[in-house]
Amino acid sequence: MDVTETDPCDLIDHSHVPDFEVRLAVKITLTVLYAFILLAGVLGNSLTIKTSKVLRDKGYLQKGVTDHMISLACSDLLVLLLGMPVELYSVIWFPLSSNYGNITCKIYCFLFEACSYATIFHVATLSFERFVAICYPFRFKVISGSRVVKLMIGFAWITSLCVALPLIFAMGAEYPLNPSEGHKRHRICNQTALHTPRQNATLCTNLSNRWVVFQSSMFSSFIIYILVLCSVAFMCRKMMLTIMATQKGTVVVRGKNKTSMASEMTKSSSPEAQTARKQTIVFLGLIVGTLALCWMPNQVLRIMAASTPKYEWSVKYFHIYMTLLPVADTFFYLSSVVNPLLYNISSKQFRAVFLQVLRCHLTIEHVNKERLLRAQQISAKNNASSKRPLILMSIRGSLSGRKTKEKTFNNFQAAGASDMPLSSQEASWTEKEMKVESSGSKTSRPNGLCESEI
């Protein structure tokens, strides 16, 4: 912004310096709100660390994923524990101090920036690890080792420290309306500004003689923020498409001549593995949306601070900045609280164990034991269901056999009754024949035994 193109009476001056301190009602409201956010964030992230360890020990989480989740929770804890108390004291309640420590301001800005961007880079490394595991499973063995996971986590922390490093030189404690070197202010337009003395107060802000360093740091960190969000969104979309293709049984094979061929294959992964992968993708998608929503006001505030030096701010620009400041900071700290909530939303298993850890009563079994019990229950159910048709068939068979016998006996009785009316002569002839046969059977054999006796 060129000073010559702006009405001098519309720019802030020494009389606006006390307005860097918010009103008392805003101070009290932010104190209560920050206390609630701090309590919820510390409790939620601490329980997340404990829950992740339990799930890892019970075989429900891979060690690499657990390490990423624990490191992410630690970065959120550092943001809350380091940022909130210092901001409440030095930004909300006592922003203008006559003896503000320059070294303290530099260290605070550096550590807070590093912990904040460590969260961004942990999301990126976790997304990349899951992206390779789902989309390139054969290459996943190369990066699935414990050493590689530690290197990725170390890369996230070291990169965040590098992003925050320029703030050691760009930030410090000084009077907020100090002009840059070689710049002379000619902006007095009324008697109030003329007789308003420069106050003996310092603010933890960007140093006027390091304006280029501060500006470069803010813009580069904003570009990194946008790149990480876009990269994670792209990887989530790619992972979801891969899982959908796997469920349909379609695989794409690429040859050496970069030709591709689609073919059908059977699903090799279990339903539990598919569910776990979907939950990971859902969580990553939710965290991308959270970072986009909660970090964007803070990024807008930083771009406003880096676009124009404070001594060239208009009164309207200054009021917009001070109005947006508590809103942006509140949303920023909420991003460190919402991760445990996202874990509970995206995973039913995590939610159950999280509540068990909260109640200090763990009932979860090891995954192998649970699978064994589940297999035994399924086997017993299958045996019961397979025996039931046999029992029904045997009962039906006995009933049908009994009905057949009763029907045969009735038919036999009906047939005998139809043969009963024989003449007395036929009955006598039959009786004589039986006697003749009986007498004939008693003829002697040479051995003196009758044939009937034999």
User: What string of pLDDT tens digits covers the 454 residues of the chain?
Assistant: 444 455 556 787 777 777 778 888 889 999 999 999 999 999 999 999 999 999 988 888 888 888 989 999 999 999 999 989 988 888 888 877 655 578 888 999 999 999 999 999 999 998 888 888 888 887 777 767 788 889 999 999 999 999 999 999 999 888 877 776 545 554 555 444 545 556 677 888 888 889 999 999 999 999 999 999 999 999 988 888 888 877 665 545 454 454 444 444 444 455 666 666 677 777 778 888 888 899 999 999 999 999 988 888 888 998 999 899 989 999 999 999 998 998 888 888 889 999 999 998 888 877 676 667 667 677 777 666 665 555 556 666 665 655 555 554 455 444 444 444 444 444 444 444 444 344 444 444 433 333 333 2
pLDDT for 111 equals 93
Q: Is residue 410 part of a domain?
A: no
d(CA 96, CA 117): 27
Q: Which two tokens stand for residue 151?
A: 């290197």
- Asked if residue 399 belongs to a domain, the reply is no
* Torsion angle defined by CA atoms of residues 53, 56, 61 and 64, in that order, rounded to the nearest 10 degrees: 80
Identify whether 127 is part of a domain: yes
- What is the extent of the structural domain holding 149? 3-367
The predicted model scores a pTM of 0.72
The pLDDT assigned to 304 comes to 92
Q: How, if at all, do strands 250-254 and 171-174 pair?
A: unpaired
Note the pLDDT of residue 191: 47
- Write down the pLDDT at residue 267: 42
What pLDDT is recorded for position 203? 83
CA 126, CA 118: separation in Å to the nearest integer? 12
- DSSP classification of residue 361: -
Residue 430 located in a structural domain: no
Query: Cβ(93)–Cβ(34) under 8 Å?
Result: no
Specify the number of domains making up the chain. Answer: 1
Assigned domain for 405 exists: no
Closest C-alpha to 297, from 328, 323, 319: 328
User: Which residue, 422, 373, 13, is CA-closest to 198?
Assistant: 13
163, part of any domain:
yes
- CATH number of the structural domain spanning residue 355: 1.20.1070.10
Cross-strand partners of 97:
202
CB contact at 8 A, 51 and 357 = yes
Report the pLDDT value the prediction gives residue 269, as an integer from 0 to 100: 53
Please compute Rg for the chain using Cα positions.
Answer: 43
- For residue 389, tell me if it sits in a domain: no
* DSSP code per residue over 263-330: EE----S-HHHHHHHHHHHHHHHHHHHHHHHHHHHHHHHHHHHHHS-GGG-BHHHHHHHHHHHHHHHH
149 occurs within a structural domain: yes
